[in-house]
Amino acid sequence: MQLGVFGATGGTGRALVATALEHGWTVRAFVRTQAGASLPLPSGLAVIHGDPGRHEDVLQAVRGCDAVCCAFGPRPRDPRPFCAPLTRRIVEAMREAGVHRIVCVTGATIGDLPATLSPSLRALAGVARRRHPALMADRALQELLVMRSALDWTLVKPPRLVDAARTGSVHADAALTVGLLSRIGRHDLAEFVFRAATQDRFVNQRVYVRN
C-alpha cells in the first residue's frame, strides 16, 4: 500500500513518513525542488522533487497512491499564502489519477469555529485573523477546497503542536472540547493521521484532536 505525503520535510510530515514506513507502507513524498535537498529523509522513501505550481509534478506524486496526506502549513520565512493553491492542484491531480482518500492537517483555529472551542482559543483565532488576514484566509479556503472536493476527505484540526514522545493517547471528535492549553505531540498526531487515512476513519468530517 502506498501513501502520498505533501509537507514531508516539516516536523509533522517527517513524523508521518516515519509512521507510515513503520507500518509497512511505501511512501511517495512530494518535496519542493529548491527545498529539502540537505534534510535527512528515511530510507525506503520515494522522493518526488517538483514545483508545487506544476500540475504534472503534483500528479506524479499522487499517481498510484492509495491515500494522500497534506501536512504542510505556512512557511516561517515566506509569508506568501500557498496552502489553498497547492491543495487545489492536489485535489485536481487526485481526481485525474483516480485517488479518492485525502487527509489534510489544518488547525483548531482555522475556518468556522465551533462552540466547543474555549473562549480564550476563539479570542486567539480572532487575533490571528487580524494580524495575518491573508494567511488565515488561505487556510480557511484550503479547508473549503477539501470539503467541496467530492473526495473521501478528513480535515484534522490540532491545537498547539509540541515535540514529544508518542503516548498513544489521542482524543478525537468533531465536537471535541479544545482550549488554549490543549496540545498534541507531533508523533501522536502523525499516528492519528496515518490511521485516519488508511482505515477510512472520520470520513467527511472536520475532526479536532488533542492529547
Mean pLDDT split into 10-residue runs, the chain, 211 residues: 94 94 94 63 82 95 97 80 96 98 98 96 96 95 98 98 93 97 97 96 97 97
According to the model, what pLDDT value does residue 86 have? 97
How many structural domains are present in the chain?
1
The closest of 65, 71, 56 to 17, measured between CA atoms, is 71
Of 202, 197, 210, give the one whose Cα is nearest residue 3. Answer: 197
First-to-last C-alpha distance (Å) of the chain: 28
178-194: string of b/e by CB count within 10 Å (b at 16+)? beeebbbbbbbbbbbbb
pLDDT at res. 115: 95
Judge whether 29 and 17 are in contact, CB under 8 Å: yes
CA-wise closest residue to 107 among 77, 71, 131: 71
pLDDT for 13 equals 94
- Helix, strand, coil percent values for the chain (each to nearest 5): 35, 25, 40
pLDDT value of position 56: 96
**Phi, psi (deg, nearest 5) at residue 3:** -115, 130
CATH code of 9's domain: 3.40.50.720
Domain housing 98 = 2-210
The model's pTM: 0.94
CA-based nearest residue to 168, from 198, 190, 200: 190
Residue 179 confidence (pLDDT): 97
pLDDT of residue 134: 93
Q: Output the pLDDT for position 66.
A: 97
pLDDT at 76: 67
